[in-house]
């Protein structure tokens, strides 16, 4: 492999969510030039609880971020599932979770509030590499480069565009529109997302442990309730004696769901008095009522969204590629949406690191490797999320039937086998030293980086090849409003 003529691509990342931030961190480590364009003008601490486990924590260890994460996280072991009785009391149905997780998978899952992880990742992005208030409206390819035009009339050019901009991805809409014109877009990908629930989430301030004694302990207290009619709710005890909470109302029919689809395109904050009133007198499984939690939650941090789900089959086109919710929007019941976005970032960074050059042929080959390595795993987790939603939040007759079969007819050993199987996929950053597997279970083999392998072999032979990723100057005329990201020379 000739290190001297390798030119690093310029990567434009649309979306500064968790997946976009991790991709930026990885590209920084790889010496690949990038810039993140986030449409929000200010970052709000929206969202609720998150759980990360062995399927992504090895990457945090590789990056030296695991100890930082563990400082604000608490170990997660299981969720206690209840049903609401007609008298308003709760009846325990099951305890769901993987036993001996750390021994088997090598890591114990960690629980925290989403914005804590967001702040950690954001702190590792150089300020000059992320810009807020940049909503992408248009994507144009010209002369083997790609340009984005933003709502503030600014424009930028690069070699690769990553759509990490969520379930209503502007990048996906742009490339799907072009593919539809060329009759290349699969019919299923052109269909709308399917909404299953309305969801509202929040996180309290510090609570009195005398009123909430379950918050005293060394791990997360996770409780979920299947309510009467179409309501369900969950509570998690996290660090600093706080509680994250989530409320869900399930749509009874597809038609009802479609009527709600146009009402929201993203997480948004507000008071939401109608939904709060519907839930405020219901029992909190960690103590008191849900209304007590609402009063202890800063109003500007309460978010409401319509939970949608869809697995897309088209993840890339020409010089654009999708990541996270933009290509696989999952229900949050299994906590896999963010995890899979982070895994996407890892594999995409691995594939970009191995780019031979920035020709369309090489870029397409890299995108295909990314898709081939990720699609099957993402689809499996999409299906697992559907199953988890049926078991822990679903209230229609098919959900109840599925839950009865799972909890009453599936042996505990089989349930544990399902949990263990989900931990076998632990992708790592291929161009950094790998973290050894420390569990007693099994993990899938890592896909090696051809470039990193060649580099290590060269160093072992005592070679002193200089990996110069100088960007050759392109003599191309562009409109005056196009901004070129200054090449960073290694």
Per-residue pLDDT of the chain (490 residues; tens, 9 = 90+): 444 456 789 999 999 999 999 999 999 999 999 999 999 998 877 778 999 999 999 999 999 999 999 999 999 999 999 999 888 899 999 999 999 999 999 999 999 999 999 999 999 999 999 999 999 999 999 989 999 999 999 999 999 999 999 999 999 999 999 999 999 999 999 998 887 888 999 999 999 999 999 999 889 999 999 998 889 999 999 999 999 999 999 987 666 666 665 554 444 555 578 889 999 999 999 999 999 999 999 988 898 888 889 999 999 999 999 999 999 999 887 678 999 999 999 999 999 999 999 999 999 999 999 999 999 999 999 999 999 999 999 999 999 999 999 999 999 999 999 999 999 999 999 999 999 999 999 999 999 999 999 888 888 777 544 444 433 333 334 455 556 554 432 2
Domains in the chain, number? 1
Tell me if 146 is assigned to some domain. Answer: yes
DSSP structural state of residue 449: P
User: Which helix (DSSP H) or strand (DSSP E) does residue 176 occupy?
Assistant: helix 170-181
Residue 304's nearest CA partner among 263, 349, 351, 339 is 263
Tell me if 42 is assigned to some domain. Answer: yes
pLDDT recorded at residue 253: 66
Q: Rounded to an integer, what distance in angstroms lies between the CA atom of residue 34 and that of residue 451?
A: 20
Tell me if 30 is assigned to some domain. Answer: yes
| Helix orientation angle between 18-30 and 114-122, rounded to the nearest 10 degrees | 30
Give residue 29's domain range: 10-422
Residue reference for tokens 């161009």: 431
Tell me if 458 is assigned to some domain. Answer: no
pTM: 0.91
Residue reference for tokens 């009785």: 85
Q: Rounded to an integer, what distance in angstroms lies between the CA atom of residue 180 and that of residue 185?
A: 5
Tell me if 427 is assigned to some domain. Answer: no
Residue 167 CB neighbours (<10 A): 22
In sequence order, what are the residues at sequence separation of 6 or more whose Cβ sits closer than 8 angstroms to the Cβ of residue 95?
78, 79, 80, 81
Cα 341 from chain centroid (whole Å): 4
Exposure letters 316-333 (e unless 16+ CB within 10 A, then b): bbbbbbbbbbbbbbbbbb
268 close to 305: Cβ distance less than 8 angstroms: yes
Exposure letters 181-204 (e unless 16+ CB within 10 A, then b): eeeebeeebeeebbbbbbbbbbbb
Tell me if 95 is assigned to some domain. Answer: yes
Radius of gyration for the chain, computed over Cα atoms and rounded to the nearest angstrom: 23
pLDDT recorded at residue 332: 87
* Domain CATH code at residue 285: 3.50.50.60
Tell me if 129 is assigned to some domain. Answer: yes
The DSSP bridge partners found for residue 317 are 320
Tell me if 480 is assigned to some domain. Answer: no
């Amino acid at each position: 492999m000739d290190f001297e003529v390798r030119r690093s691509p310029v990567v434009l990342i649309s979306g500064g969510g968790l997946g976009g931030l991790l991709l930026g961190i990885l590209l920084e480590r790889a010496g690949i030039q990038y810039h993140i364009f986030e449409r929000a003008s200010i970052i709000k601490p929206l969202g609720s609880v998150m759980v990360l486990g062995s399927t992504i924590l090895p990457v945090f260890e590789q990056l030296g971020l695991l100890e930082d994460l563990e400082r604000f996280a608490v170990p997660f072991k299981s969720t206690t599932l209840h049903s609401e009785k007609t008298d308003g009391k709760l009846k325990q149905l099951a305890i769901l979770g993987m036993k001996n997780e750390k021994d088997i998978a090598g890591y114990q899952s960690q629980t925290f509030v989403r914005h804590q992880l967001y702040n950690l990742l954001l702190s590792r992005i150089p300020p000059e590499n992320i810009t807020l208030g940049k909503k992408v409206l248009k994507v144009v390819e010209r002369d083997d480069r790609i340009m984005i035009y933003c709502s503030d009339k600014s424009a930028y050019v690069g070699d690769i565009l990553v759509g990490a901009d969520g379930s209503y991805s502007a990048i996906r809409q742009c490339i799907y529109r072009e593919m539809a014109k060329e009759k290349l877009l699969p019919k299923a990908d052109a269909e709308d997302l399917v909404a299953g629930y309305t969801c509202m989430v929040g996180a309290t301030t510090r609570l009195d442990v005398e009123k909430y004694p379950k918050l005293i302990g060394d791990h997360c207290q996770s409780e979920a309730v299947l309510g009467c009619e179409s309501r369900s709710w969950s509570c998690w005890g996290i660090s600093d004696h706080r509680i994250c909470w989530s409320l869900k109302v399930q749509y009874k029919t597809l038609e009802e769901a479609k009527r709600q689809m146009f009402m929201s395109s993203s997480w948004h904050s507000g008071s939401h008095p109608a939904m709060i009133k519907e839930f405020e007198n219901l029992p909190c499984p960690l103590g008191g009522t849900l209304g007590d939690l609402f009063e202890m939650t800063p109003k500007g941090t309460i978010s409401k969204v319509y939970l949608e789900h869809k697995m897309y089959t088209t993840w890339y086109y020409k010089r654009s590629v999708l990541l996270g919710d933009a290509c696989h929007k999952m229900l949050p019941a299994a906590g896999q949406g963010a995890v899979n976005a982070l895994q996407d970032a890892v594999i995409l960074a691995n594939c970009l690191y191995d780019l031979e050059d920035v020709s369309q042929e090489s870029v397409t080959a890299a995108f295909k490797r990314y898709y081939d390595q990720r699609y099957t795993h993402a689809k499996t987790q999409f299906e697992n999320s559907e199953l988890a939603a049926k078991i822990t939040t679903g209230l229609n007759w098919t959900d109840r039937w599925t839950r009865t079969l799972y909890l009453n007819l599936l042996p505990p050993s089989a349930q544990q086998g399902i949990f263990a199987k989900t931990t076998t996929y632990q992708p790592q950053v291929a161009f950094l030293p790998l973290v050894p597997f420390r569990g007693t279970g099994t993990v899938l083999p890592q896909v090696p980086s051809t470039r990193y392998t060649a580099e290590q072999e060269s160093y072992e032979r005592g070679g002193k090849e200089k990996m110069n990723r100088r960007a050759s100057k392109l003599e191309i005329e562009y409109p005056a409003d196009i901004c070129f990201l200054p090449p960073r020379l290694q």
